Chain A
Amino acid sequence: MADRRTIRTDYLARVEGEGAMTVVLDDGRVEDVELRIFEPPRFFEAFLRGRSFREAPDITARICGICPVAYQTSAVNALERLCGIEVPEPIRMLRRLLYCAEWIESHALHVYMLHAPDFLGFDGAVELARVAPDVVARGLALKRTGNDVMALLGGREIHPINVRVGGFYRVPSVRELRALVDPLERAREAALETVRWTAGFDFPDREVECDLVALVHPSEYAIERGRIRSTAGLEIDAAEYDEHFVEEHVERSNALHSRLRDGGVYLCGPLARFALGFDKLSPLARDAAHEGGVDGACRNPFRSVVVRSVELVYACDEALRLVDAYEEPDEPYVAVEPAAGTGYGVSEAPRGLLYHRYRLDAEGTILDAKIVPPTSQNQLAIEADLRGVVAANTGLDDDALRALCEQAIRNHDPCISCATHFLSLVVERR
């Protein structure tokens, strides 16, 4: 009789949200891998219809408690562009600083609390904290620095309320920003230690084969702006996104699955940013990457924990540069009048590319909105990656295989609440 196994995880811990995964093995062959996502689909897109364009940054910030700045930024990018506004440089730099704060918070949470326990054989961060409290305290301190920057620039630590179309409601004084220097310098040191720590983990062999997609910018590591580029050579503006990427509904999941229009699967996130923008990292972050054994050629998703650690170094380093260069703008925002038409905006959320599209009437009422979070874009790539991980490890027993699959999912730091915005793992052997 054929050995048919199903490994199922109905509640997938340590990802941002909830979901389920099923792996079906038939006589040692991988028959099916599926990631199911539950949640009221497109709740926020519907919610935005009929609202003023000025409300979009505050409404979309509520989609996720981990990456609200990403939502705000893609929203204002789309709307400002439609309305013919380019924000002054000090405001753009403040937005980049706010975004660095979100990367610090999100990456510190993921690396220390969610992902590292997998590599060290702990059930979670609580067990890790009992054995290595200093390490966990370092992660929390890093995260707190992100929170502090967020609170200063965003008005509060979560769901920041200070970003508006055209700029900010209030900008900080130079003196207020200078107060961030000491904590950011300490955070940068902690981030360098994080790279040394994670680089010492054991990494299973694994390479992703699909295209990698990220924003690029000629003069900086792309975060809050840039053009969309793929490792296969595509390079487009945000306005061309819908021509090259399609979303399809899959019966089992509330999330829409993204593909390249030619059917190709792609991955966005830290590995993609490294592949396409490694040379734009600061010298300190590049050196840390080399010391940690990762560079732009890294395709092993298990090493994404090191890549995120290097991005932590970069975010702290870049935040310090931005604080140092800051000059208070004359006005916290520029006046924006609505324009009828369609606006497109992108930015690099901690988990990858985040696309927004808004159609407005002449009064600035939102007629429709489209939001494509990184986790929906990554879902097919995560399934393909899991298929490879399972195929290479069919000899493991169910518990070990389930643990490895969970770890492989966490490699991609899926934010399930954004993606649909939710996730639970089943390994089925038949």
Chain B
Amino acid sequence: MRAVLIGVGNRLRGDDGAGPAVAELARRTLPSGVCVVTCEEEPSRLIESWRSADVAVLVDALEPAGAPGAVWRFDATGRALPARSFRSSTHAFGVGETIELARALGTLPRRLIVYGIEGAVFDAGSAMTEEVVQALEGVARRIVDEIEEATCTSAR
């Protein structure tokens, strides 16, 4: 059973760093066999990171929609992410597009869960919004629980 956690975003751009920050927090408590990667700029690399994974959990910042720090979970295994919720702007390829590309190529992991954390500020050099910082620990815990549960279920 191969599990991978992928944090997407750019740490130098305020709340865009939420994905990598959650991945780093979760890394401390995840079982050692779980692969944790951060992807800062170019999500087509995602396809590589979840290659042959049984379960992949991806975490990224969401476009501002009035509730910074709000957390959103989506099972992308069988269907596309709702359009334009993730910040694809600084990337050549958005997370949603990358997932659909992998679906077309038949290279999705067996199960793909996406967590989104709504951001507010994405300027270069800016700090993460307080509400986003407060959400990080909780998301990391949920992801660790989810991966452990998936791992145990498969071990039984």
Contact = CB atoms under 8 A, between A and B. Distances in A.
A319 B40 CA distance: 26
Given A18-B89, A43-B125, A140-B47, A66 B41 contact: yes
Contact of B105 (A64, A65, A133): A133
Interface stretch (B19-27, B53-61, B96-104, B133-141): B96-104
Interface string B103-128: 01110000000000000000111000
Interface residues of A, number: 35
Contact of B48 (A114, A147, A422): A147
A133 B97 CA distance: 15
Interface string A16-41: 11100000000000000000000110
B64 to A, nearest CB: 15
A394 to B, nearest CB: 31
A14 interface: yes
A144 B92 contact: no
Nearest to A64: B41
Contacts of B73: none
A62 to B, nearest CB: 7
The CB with the most chain A CB atoms within 10 A, among B47, B97, B104, is that of B104
A140 B42 contact: no
Contact of A43 (B42, B93, B100, B124): B124
Interface string B14-43: 000000000000000000000000001110
B124 A18 contact: no
B8 to A, nearest CB: 12
Contacts of A14: 92
The CB with the most chain B CB atoms within 10 A, among A64, A137, A140, is that of A140
A11 interface: yes
Given A17-B90, A40-B125, A144-B48, A137 B40 contact: no
B44 interface: yes
A143 interface: yes
B2 interface: no
B84 to A, nearest CB: 10
Contacts of B40: 65, 158-159
Given A18-B89, A62-B12, A40 B45 contact: no
A126 B48 contact: no
A339 B120 CA distance: 44
Nearest to A65: B41
Nearest to A124: B97
Contacts of A39: 124
Nearest to B89: A18
A143 B48 CA distance: 11
A265 to B, nearest CB: 26
A417 interface: yes
Contact of B45 (A64, A133, A157): A157
A389 interface: no
A113 B100 contact: no
Number of chain B interface residues as a range: 20 to 34
Contacts of A159: 40
A26 B91 CA distance: 34
A114 B91 CA distance: 12
Contacts of B101: 125-126, 129, 136
A133 B106 contact: yes
B92 A133 contact: no
Contacts of A157: 45
A294 B148 CA distance: 55
B104 A126 contact: yes
A137 B125 CA distance: 36
A2 B147 CA distance: 64
Given A40-B125, A144-B48, A147-B48, A133 B90 contact: no
A126 B48 CA distance: 16
A50 B89 CA distance: 31
Given A18-B89, A43-B124, A136 B105 contact: yes
Contacts of A62: 12
A181 interface: no
Contacts of B124: 39-40, 43, 421
A242 to B, nearest CB: 26
Interface in A131-174: 133, 136-137, 140, 143-144, 147, 157-159
A394 B101 CA distance: 34
A278 B125 CA distance: 41
A422 B92 CA distance: 12
Interface string A47-87: 10000000000000010111000000000000000000000
Given A66-B42, A125-B101, A140-B47, 15 more contacts: A15-B92, A16-B92, A39-B124, A40-B123, A64-B41, A66-B41, A109-B92, A113-B92, A126-B101, A129-B104, A136-B105, A157-B45, A158-B41, A158-B42, A422-B90
17 contacts: A14-B92, A16-B92, A39-B124, A40-B124, A43-B124, A43-B125, A47-B125, A65-B40, A65-B42, A109-B42, A109-B92, A124-B97, A126-B100, A133-B104, A136-B101, A140-B105, A158-B45
Interface of B: 12, 40-42, 44-45, 47-48, 89-90, 92-93, 97, 100-101, 104-106, 123-125
